[in-house]
Amino acid sequence: MTDESRSETTTIDRYGVMGYPVSHSRSPVIHRLFALQTGQNIQYELLQVSPEKLETAIRQFQRTGGKGLNITVPHKSEVTKLVDQTSERASTAGAVNTLSFKGGEIYGDNTDGIGLLRDLAVNLGVAIEDANILILGAGGATRGIVGPLLEMQPASIQIANRSLGKAAALADHFAHSGPVSACRFNAVPVSRPYDLIINATSAGVKGEAPPYPAAAISEISFCYDLSYGLQPTPFSVWARQVGAAQSVMGWGMLVEQAAESFNLWRGVRPETAPVLKQMKITA
């Protein structure tokens, strides 16, 4: 790097994604495409940070003038302890995926839920109001999406999990906000068909294939996997095989949550459709 280019880059607003591991993250590509599209001059870095170094790394990024960070697996819950102010949606989710550094303070937000809603409702035309929804899994990903989904007034949300305890705890947590109940995978009530089935387990990512409840899927079911890959995920393949109306991976949610973060940081909402296309994704 020449002295001239070095002095240029120091004036560029810096952002990044912190995770562990993080090398496979698509966020740098997505944010560079957003920046090109909107004419924003930003730098976006991949930052691999282990859990024990998270606080030091965030403080250092802040101290050296960084403007914002995306926080990804496994730090989304832990980082809530390090922020000075938290948005309501991040508090409800119990997780932060976006940090903004302003006036010496750290502001934590969560754009995952709105990212999923935008992909479902705007990009894919899935009606959530009055829908019967089944969510598979009861970890952090589920906790992040139940609140935003309930705001759209579905008829019901059933959380099914391998072990009942975590699903029951989440159903209790959200019981005051809407009709949420819990069960084990092998006890999913099928008296009414599910309009929307969301896979929020981490099974596929770990190469595991749990006994997903095939009886819950019917020809009206829209199946959505929060996971995504260049090859179809195990859940998306399974959903097609057992007769779902449609089976989609979470590429759109990834791009939409990024657009929401970009908007928080830069005050400009990028167009997501061309970015999804440019990533050569058949979502």
Chain residues binding ligand ATR by CB under 6 A are: 137-141, 161-163, 166, 200-203, 206, 208, 210
Whether 76 is catalytic: yes
Q: How many CB atoms lie within 10 A of CB 185?
A: 19
Q: Which is nearer to ligand ATR, 112 or 195 (CB)?
A: 112
Q: Which residue is nearest to ligand ATR (CB)?
A: 139
| CB proximity list for 218: less than 8 A, separation 6 or greater | 193, 194, 243
In the complex, minimum distance from the CB of residue 208 to ligand ATR, in angstroms, rounded to a whole number: 3
Q: How many CB atoms lie within 10 A of CB 263?
A: 15
For 161, the enclosing helix (H) or strand (E) is strand 156-161
Q: Taking a C-beta distance cutoff of 8 angstroms, is the pair 99, 83 a contact?
A: yes
Q: Which of 53, 67, 76, 166 is catalytic?
A: 76
In the complex, minimum distance from the CB of residue 139 to ligand ATR, in angstroms, rounded to a whole number: 2
Q: Which is nearer to ligand ATR, 80 or 161 (CB)?
A: 161
Q: Which is nearer to ligand ATR, 169 or 268 (CB)?
A: 169
CA–CA separation, 210 vs 138, rounded Å?
Answer: 14
Side-chain half-sphere CA neighbours of 21 within 13 A:
2
CA–CA separation, 281 vs 283, rounded Å?
Answer: 6
In the complex, minimum distance from the CB of residue 212 to ligand ATR, in angstroms, rounded to a whole number: 8
- Local structure of 141: helix, strand or coil: helix
Q: Taking a C-beta distance cutoff of 8 angstroms, is the pair 22, 48 a contact?
A: yes
In the complex, minimum distance from the CB of residue 76 to ligand ATR, in angstroms, rounded to a whole number: 7
26 phi and psi, to 5 degrees? -90, -5
Q: Which is nearer to ligand ATR, 140 or 179 (CB)?
A: 140
Q: Which is nearer to ligand ATR, 131 or 159 (CB)?
A: 159
In the complex, minimum distance from the CB of residue 271 to ligand ATR, in angstroms, rounded to a whole number: 28
Residues with a known catalytic role: 76
